[in-house]
Chains A and B, each alone.
Chain A
Amino acid sequence: MPTFTNIGKAFPRIEAEEKVTGSAEYIEDRCMGPMLYAKIKKSAIPHGRIKRIDTSRAEALPGVRAVVTGKDCAKNRVGLYLVDRTFFAVDKVRFFGEPLAAVAATSVEIAQKAVDLIEVEYEELPAVFNPLEAMKPEAPLIHEDLGDYEVVPIFYPVAGTNISNHSKIRKGDVDKGFAEADVIIERDYYIPQMQHVTIETHKAAALWGFDGKLTVWSTAQSPFTVRQLLGKCLDMPLHKIRVVSSYIGGGFGGKAGATMEGLVIPLAQRCPGYIVRIVFTREEDLQCTFTRQAMYAHLKTGVRKDGRITALEYKMIWDGGAYTEYGVNITRAAAYSSAAAYDIPNLKTDSYCVYTNNPVGGPVRGFGMCEMQWGIERQMDEIARKLDMDPLELRLLNGLKEGSTTATGQRIEDSSFMNCLRTAAEAVEWGKRDTGKYRGKGLAGLVKAPAQPSNASSSAIVRINEDGTVHLSVSATEMGQGMLTAMCQIAAEALNIPAEKFSTRVPDTDYTPYEWQTVGSRTTYACGHAVTAAAKDALRQIKELGTIALGVPVEEVELEDDTVFWTKDREKQVPLAVLANSYMKPTGEGIHGPIIGRGSFIPSNMTNLDPETGQGNPGMFWTFGASAVELEVDPETGEITILQLATALDAGKAINPQQCKIQVHGGTVMGLGTALYEEVQLKDGRILNPNFTDYKIPTIENTPYMKGFVLETPDKGGPYGARGIGEQPMIAVGPAIANALADALGIEMNTFPMTPERVLKAIQEKEKNS
């Protein structure tokens, strides 16, 4: 085992002091200057034509500086994968709360008053809120021009329908697989919409400079992707756009892509020299930003008596909402991962992304995996019961091992799925029966790869300061996950300079190098590779200078902390500070100048998928894990008490074990929230619970004691063997709880969240039927 000096250690968060003292800068602390405040006029209907927008009364209000509508703004559509959206509705609205117009004014109150004075006349169109209905040929069309939209050619929209993507997986022969099966289980599952509820809502600000340069401050997770999308949407060259990131109060996918920057830019264009800022209220955040897509699943699994799964047929119908520019990729990722953590020889999957007039679906921690693996992990337990097998044994038997292939035929290079399952199970004393009458245990496995295009790239710059300390520049965003600290530790390890001597900042597209997006649990891996390369590049330069300074061969030069030395005699040394900036020979001739290391990364192990069979290599890496739970149910009220909860993840190499553990705990709680409480309740496309009175998330008082395990089976492709674990811990919690409920009371929960009322209903139905 290699020994490490900077990684694998609980190095304190580099921004900890800023955050605990309240001096850390978030967006509202950073965009300072002459300010204007923006508010948006939102659609009051879910689907209809805009007949007339009258802004004259708003414009006449004292304090109002600019009013814009969709017609006044850039006509180009925007979208990451399927270019189907405009920042403001033009001609037509497709969901309740869709931005129609915006006002910039000297105060938030005036802006709101002006918004209320904007008159909108609609011609309502028939709306559709259920994707099963929306798929039917007679359903009202939400995007008439779907066939003309620009789309990344790995997605398959069906023109003339509401289906914006149909991803297919065809592996082996399912008919043959079912013919070999002794038991076939077929069932429907459903997952409702949920929201990220980040502690900081979505915010953006824009400044149109007198030189025509656009500066955007944003809570976006991905400043470079925002810049790229804006450039395309506004027909502007990228050197004229600067996107500035701040610390972000949580992202969880909801701030991926371009979200709301486009709402303030047209206002800023009309008020050059002013910073125009919008801050979403909690209600706006819940209604007008990405929700997790609802999903209807139909699963049919065939299994032999000995427990081997022979075939799986999986149909997923996703409620993409009114726009699916980002959402299509969730439905694609769910398809290519649709065998979950299991080795299933015959597989047929159809995953449909469907437009509805519901709020816009988009990325949420897990990116389709919570929804997709819910059905599979529920069905695994049902199979185990049918075969009278231990659910753990059934999973161990079918789990992906080294050399197994995924749904798309990708070979698994390293898997510790079995270890994760055993670790989680052991933590809740699996197999030990408690005496309690209404107690049960359950477990579930999980797997997830980053969902990204194969050309998603990263870069990093390492600058050696004049005194031998280091500045690291990357453009991954810091949204609470500890990325900045991990990147410094990786660079420190590669350079062999202590992490304490590193500084780094949040990204700014004018000053920090390209990064695709901070999503998909990919940063430690992808950005980590770029950082390693940049550090090694700087180290190479240091050693080359050391050769000249020490007069020894380059392979005999080493760096440790602040000293460059000859490996054969440490006495022969030169301080790094002497080489770092302006090294010169005794004669006065200068050599090299400042040391700047650069590193870039793009995955080489990914391929596109066959359009008909879905076969190929979509996973940059695969992270495995498992959750296990013991719970007690109050059979009269349906209330669940979690007695034990454990999640085990394989991080490959924990760059910062403490941060990894925090991620595991945080993800487990988020999984618990979605399993027990969280649901966006919709009526005709309108959210009935857009506040914390009725959208419930766990608080510390109802968070149970948890055990988090971080295993380390090195990833052959990862930096120092590391792979991502950011999203994964929430995936298996829901099905583990449902499986424990089945164990406790024999009830089958096929829907999230498992509220007391739903659990009670299941208990009552079971009593009625028995």
Chain B
Amino acid sequence: MPAFTYQKCSDLSQAMKWLAEDKDTFLLAGGTDLLVGIRGGKFKARQVADIKDIEELKILKEDQKGITIGAGVTLNEIAQFEPVQKNVPILAEGCNSIGTYSVRNRATLVGNICNASPAADTAAPLYCLGAIVKIAGPGGERQVGIEDFFTGPGQSALKAGELVTAILIPKPYPQGKGVYKKASRTRSVDLATVGVAVQRWGQEVRIALGAVAPTPVRASSVEKAINEENVTDAAQAASLVEKDISPISDLRGSREYRYHISKVLVRRGLEETEEVCS
């Protein structure tokens, strides 16, 4: 493991200070991506600032705006948070499909997003839920929509010196069923070959996919067909997903397989959530 300086932060301003002082500062919340990345040479960290015990980042609450999830909240805490289970179970599904239970005791939702992997299992559910990313930085606070946050593989909208403080799942919550469907090489402890989130909102549907493009993507063509063009055949609608995705071949699956599986999983997602739509 390459050497780095470790800084324990007790409040947000400290974390911001370290980020401002050294551009090779990396934030540690769960560390499940960070430490593997440092060891493997992906992240050249001179300094690691540990933010996991900063009180204001441990916020997990529901209020009139929606559900706020701080940067220090773990995947297991989210998946077990009653308002999440009750109102947005698709997010719990996404959280629960990452790693092992013990990894989820450490890993955070914000970390999953900031790692900006196109295959992030929480991303597709967040896209469907219209999540809002709260950012703090030298220029003050700002908010961006989740779909503007991902900009490329490992790339996010975060600017130098900025950090994500929380994710907001805004109200109104979806009225309707949502599912997260994942294809992977093994059924446990594996990255998504393709991840598909399908969320009904009354008569409408929102669909997002992971691991099929440089960022997670919405299946706009499928959504349009169903929401605007009254296509009712799930298979017919799902086949349009190929317009929305641009998968590559890698160790986890070929481009062709990903095209095929995307259609299958979108169709199945539509079928499984259909009861509430009609």
Question: Once the chains bind, are A699 and B188 in contact (CB under 8 Å)?
Answer: yes
Question: Once the chains bind, are B185 and A755 in contact (CB under 8 Å)?
Answer: yes
Interface size in chain B (residues, C-beta < 8 A): 20
Segment 696-715 of A: residues with Cβ below 8 Å from B: 696, 698-699, 701-702
Interface string of A676-704 (1 = CB under 8 A from B): 11000100000011000110101101100
CA distance A701 to B103 in the complex (A): 15
Q: Is the interface of B mostly helix, strand, loop or mixed?
A: loop
CA distance A639 to B1 in the complex (A): 37
Segment 114-161 of B: residues with Cβ below 8 Å from A: none
CA distance A628 to B268 in the complex (A): 32
User: A109-B3, A636-B264, A760-B260 are contacts. A701–B188 as well, Cβ < 8 Å?
Assistant: yes
Question: Once the chains bind, are A702 and B187 in contact (CB under 8 Å)?
Answer: yes
Partner of A756, one of B3, B185, B188: B185
CA distance A688 to B189 in the complex (A): 19
Question: Once the chains bind, are B251 and A694 in contact (CB under 8 Å)?
Answer: yes
Interface string of A203-237 (1 = CB under 8 A from B): 00000000000000000000000000000000000
Question: Once the chains bind, are B251 and A681 in contact (CB under 8 Å)?
Answer: yes
CA distance A693 to B185 in the complex (A): 11
Question: Once the chains bind, are B251 and A689 in contact (CB under 8 Å)?
Answer: yes
Indicate whether A757 reaches chain B with its CB closer than 8 angstroms: yes
CA distance A689 to B190 in the complex (A): 13
Question: Once the chains bind, are A696 and B185 in contact (CB under 8 Å)?
Answer: yes
CA distance A702 to B189 in the complex (A): 9
Query: Distance in Å from the Cβ of A284 to the closest Cβ of chain B?
Result: 13
User: A636-B264, A760-B260 are contacts. A701–B187 as well, Cβ < 8 Å?
Assistant: yes
CA distance A109 to B190 in the complex (A): 30
Which residues in A have their C-beta under 8 angstroms from that of B189?
A: 699, 701
Which residues in B have their C-beta under 8 angstroms from that of A639?
A: 183, 187
Q: Name which residue of chain A comes closest to B264, CB basis.
A: A636
CA distance A702 to B184 in the complex (A): 12
Indicate whether B253 reaches chain A with its CB closer than 8 angstroms: yes
CA distance A730 to B185 in the complex (A): 21
CA distance A545 to B185 in the complex (A): 66
Question: Once the chains bind, are A702 and B185 in contact (CB under 8 Å)?
Answer: no
Question: Once the chains bind, are B186 and A637 in contact (CB under 8 Å)?
Answer: no
Question: Once the chains bind, are B188 and A688 in contact (CB under 8 Å)?
Answer: no
CA distance A760 to B258 in the complex (A): 12
User: A637-B264, A694-B251 are contacts. A757–B187 as well, Cβ < 8 Å?
Assistant: no
CA distance A636 to B100 in the complex (A): 27
CA distance A701 to B187 in the complex (A): 8
Which residues in B have their C-beta under 8 angstroms from that of A699?
A: 100, 186, 188-189
Indicate whether B58 reaches chain A with its CB closer than 8 angstroms: no
Which residues in A have their C-beta under 8 angstroms from that of B186?
A: 676-677, 696, 698-699, 702
CA distance A109 to B189 in the complex (A): 30
Which residues in A have their C-beta under 8 angstroms from that of B252?
A: 694
Partner of A757, one of B2, B3, B257: B257
Interface string of B243-278 (1 = CB under 8 A from A): 000000001111001001100100000000000000
Which residues in A have their C-beta under 8 angstroms from that of B100?
A: 699
Indicate whether B241 reaches chain A with its CB closer than 8 angstroms: no
Query: Distance in Å from the Cβ of A209 to the closest Cβ of chain B?
Result: 33
Interface string of A611-652 (1 = CB under 8 A from B): 000000000000000000000000011010000000000000
Q: Name which residue of chain B comes closest to A761, CB basis.
A: B257
Which residues in A have their C-beta under 8 angstroms from that of B19?
A: none
Q: Name which residue of chain B comes closest to A108, CB basis.
A: B1
Partner of B188, one of A676, A694, A702: A702
Interface string of A698-738 (1 = CB under 8 A from B): 11011000000000000000000000000000000000000
Which residues in B have their C-beta under 8 angstroms from that of A694?
A: 251-252
CA distance A341 to B257 in the complex (A): 38
Indicate whether B34 reaches chain A with its CB closer than 8 angstroms: no
Residue from the set B3, B183, B185 with the largest chain A CB neighbour count within 10 Å = B185
Query: Distance in Å from the Cβ of B150 to the closest Cβ of chain A?
Result: 21
Query: Distance in Å from the Cβ of A670 to the closest Cβ of chain B?
Result: 15
Q: Name which residue of chain B comes closest to A703, CB basis.
A: B188
Q: Name which residue of chain A comes closest to B265, CB basis.
A: A637
Segment 1-56 of B: residues with Cβ below 8 Å from A: 1-3
CA distance A693 to B183 in the complex (A): 15
Indicate whether B211 reaches chain A with its CB closer than 8 angstroms: no
Question: Once the chains bind, are A637 and B251 in contact (CB under 8 Å)?
Answer: no
- Chain A contacts to B: CB under 8 angstroms: 109, 636-637, 639, 676-677, 681, 688-689, 693-694, 696, 698-699, 701-702, 755-757, 760
A-B contact pairs, 15 of them (CB 8 A): A109-B1, A637-B261, A637-B264, A677-B186, A681-B251, A689-B251, A693-B191, A694-B252, A696-B185, A696-B186, A699-B186, A701-B188, A701-B189, A702-B186, A755-B185
Nearest 3 pairs of A and B residues by beta carbon: A701-B188, A702-B187, A757-B257
- Chain B contacts to A: CB under 8 angstroms: 1-3, 100, 183, 185-191, 251-254, 257, 260-261, 264
Contacts A696-B185, A699-B100, A757-B254 supplied; 11 other A-B pairs, CB < 8 Å: A109-B2, A636-B264, A676-B186, A677-B186, A681-B251, A694-B251, A696-B190, A699-B186, A702-B186, A755-B185, A757-B253
